[in-house]
Structure 1
Amino acid sequence: MAFNSWFRDLSFFRKTAVILGTGALVAGATYSVFEIQRRRNLACGGINMESLKNIEDIEEGEKRILVLGLDGAGKSTLLGCLNSLQAPDDTKPTEGFNVMCIQTESVTLNIWEVGGTENVRSYWSNFIQGTQVLMFVVDASDKERLGEAKTELQKLITDKRLKNVPLILVANKQDKEGAMSVDNLQRVLELNLGDRAIYPLETQVPIGGEVQGVNKVKELLEMLPKS
């Protein structure tokens, strides 16, 4: 009530100044929150923030890997155990994108994982430029969504920016009942890769269970692309 009375007694010009000042304060606070969140999303080990503004930039001794797949395929859980080779206790679905860095003896792996929900897939193409290795993860036990996975993968491999980029096809969740083998998965997806190299793998990363195939994923990410 006191504020209303004080504001009502102000002249037109002073009222305008208060409104504009308040708007600037709100805008500044909103920008600050957005900037903090942006920096959190881009934070990745020793990578300089400025270098992430252009995802096409690849420094010497670094390798850029793009990890895609439908939501629920297990991308985050799989990547979460690359270092320890143990499944993480809990993994939240990726709503936007994550950047993960793994330093090996020979190279720094800059791994870009993008969420797989339908609304996020429309942004996949924004992350393609500069990709040196493409990894596509499929829930091999979810046969009802294989057609959906096939559609999305076909879009990717026909993109000219990914021409000749090696593909790691991961048939994940092999611990689930009825999981399809990676050979059968390749046939269902009808991959026509031309000269592109494909590396099919079977993985499982159950929480509290036995992890399989993850060490091979890490070896491939470090090795590819072959010179």
Structure 2
Amino acid sequence: MAFSSWFRDLSFFRKTAVILGTGALVAGATYRVFEIQRRRNLSSGGIDMESINNDEGGVEEGEKRILVLGLDGAGKSTLLGCLNSLQPPDDTKPTEGFNVMCVQTDTNTLNIWEVGGTENVRSYWSNFIEGTQVLVFVVDASDKNRLGEAKTELDKLVADNRLKNVPLILVANKQDKEGALSVNDLQTKLEVGPENRAIYLIETQVPVGGEIKGVSRVKELMETLPTM
């Protein structure tokens, strides 16, 4: 009774917002994005490694664990934000710690772990590797000044025995930017080869108000790539 009275007193626009918000909650049953705040130490901007280390990295049947990494500013969050809608989010904040996104497909539940790419967070990347079945490495293909930095971090990842035989999706993002390298040129610059793993090269762009490119292919590979 109290709720109906409260709802009746709302303006038309606020009633509409409530209805749309309720609909969004229902839609979230199939596409859920979780900010794992309880696993972050927000006061220091760090990561609560005790929670991460207690996660044994096990994967349930019908689920797939995907790790998405890349330098800060590569566009990881924006890319993942339009994975289902194929529309870029209006506003994306840089990932300070890590996010977990669950995407339900016809064949799998994709548990997508995205870890921030700032220098202080990269030292924790290795803590997220255990149990990874697909590795996605996103690069700002237009930022040639940081390719050496990206290569250093990718070299560390492919050298990790826990990622041996794990397929790699190399994403050359921001193709809409002037001077962006093609994904083949990017692979050459990063000197990453197919040793011990399958490598899939994708060019993407997710400009606000512009043409989306390559995102559906990224999702398709996440879903269909065979795992060891």
Does the TM-score normalized on the shorter chain lie above 0.5? Answer: yes
Contact kept? 1:55, 1:127, Cα under 8 Å: no
Report the Cα distance in structure 2 between the residues aligned to 1:150 and 1:225, rounded to whole angstroms. Answer: 26
Report the residue type matching 2:78 in the other structure: T
Report Cα offsets for 1:1-24 as digits up to 9, x if no partner.
Answer: xxxxxxxxxxxxxxxxxxxxxxxx
After superposition, residues 140-159 of structure 1 pair within 5 angstroms as: 140-159=141-160
Report the Cα distance in structure 2 between the residues aligned to 1:66 and 1:211, rounded to whole angstroms. Answer: 22
TM-score (norm 1): 0.77
Distance apart, 1:116 and its partner CA: 0.1
Report Cα offsets for 1:23-65 as digits up to 9, x if no partner.
Answer: xxxxxxxxxxxxx930699xxxxxxxx9995151210000000
TM-score (norm 2): 0.77
Distance apart, 1:225 and its partner CA: 2.3
Flag structure 1 segments of 5+ consecutive residues without an equivalent: 1-35, 42-49
In structure 2, the residue matched to 1:15 is none
Report the residue type matching 2:89 in the other structure: P
Report the Cα distance in structure 1 between the residues aligned to 2:56 and 2:145, rounded to whole angstroms. Answer: 34
Report the Cα distance in structure 2 between the residues aligned to 1:119 and 1:180, rounded to whole angstroms. Answer: 27
The structure where helix makes up a greater share of residues is 1
Report the Cα distance in structure 1 between the residues aligned to 2:58 and 2:38, rounded to whole angstroms. Answer: 18
Report the Cα distance in structure 2 between the residues aligned to 1:226 and 1:37, rounded to whole angstroms. Answer: 29
Residues 136 and 51 (structure 1 numbering): CA distance in 2 closer, same or farther, change over 3 Å? closer
In structure 2, the residue matched to 1:126 is 127
After superposition, residues 192-207 of structure 1 pair within 5 angstroms as: 192-207=193-208
In structure 2, the residue matched to 1:96 is 97
Report the residue type matching 1:173 in the other structure: K
Larger C-alpha radius of gyration, 1 or 2?
1
Report Cα offsets for 1:161-212 as digits up to 9, x if no partner.
Answer: 0000000000000000000000000000011331310000000001111111
In structure 1, the residue matched to 2:85 is 84
Contact kept? 1:165, 1:225, Cα under 8 Å: no
Report the residue type matching 1:116 in the other structure: G
Other structure's SS at 2:216 match: helix
Distance apart, 1:93 and its partner CA: 0.2
Report the residue type matching 1:122 in the other structure: S
Report the Cα distance in structure 2 between the residues aligned to 1:56 and 1:208, rounded to whole angstroms. Answer: 38
After superposition, residues 168-207 of structure 1 pair within 5 angstroms as: 168-207=169-208
Other structure's SS at 1:148 match: helix
Matched, 1:115 2:111: no
In structure 2, the residue matched to 1:38 is 38
Contact kept? 2:104, 2:110, Cα under 8 Å: yes
Q: State how many pairs are aligned.
A: 184
Contact kept? 1:157, 1:193, Cα under 8 Å: no
Identity of aligned residues (%): 77
Report the Cα distance in structure 1 between the residues aligned to 2:52 and 2:123, rounded to whole angstroms. Answer: 24
Segments of 4+ moved more than 6 angstroms: none
Flag structure 2 segments of 5+ consecutive residues without an equivalent: 1-35, 42-50
**More displaced, 169-178 or 207-216?**
207-216
Other structure's SS at 2:222 match: helix
Report the Cα distance in structure 1 between the residues aligned to 2:52 and 2:121, rounded to whole angstroms. Answer: 23
Contact kept? 2:133, 2:227, Cα under 8 Å: no
Report the Cα distance in structure 2 between the residues aligned to 1:40 and 1:118, rounded to whole angstroms. Answer: 17
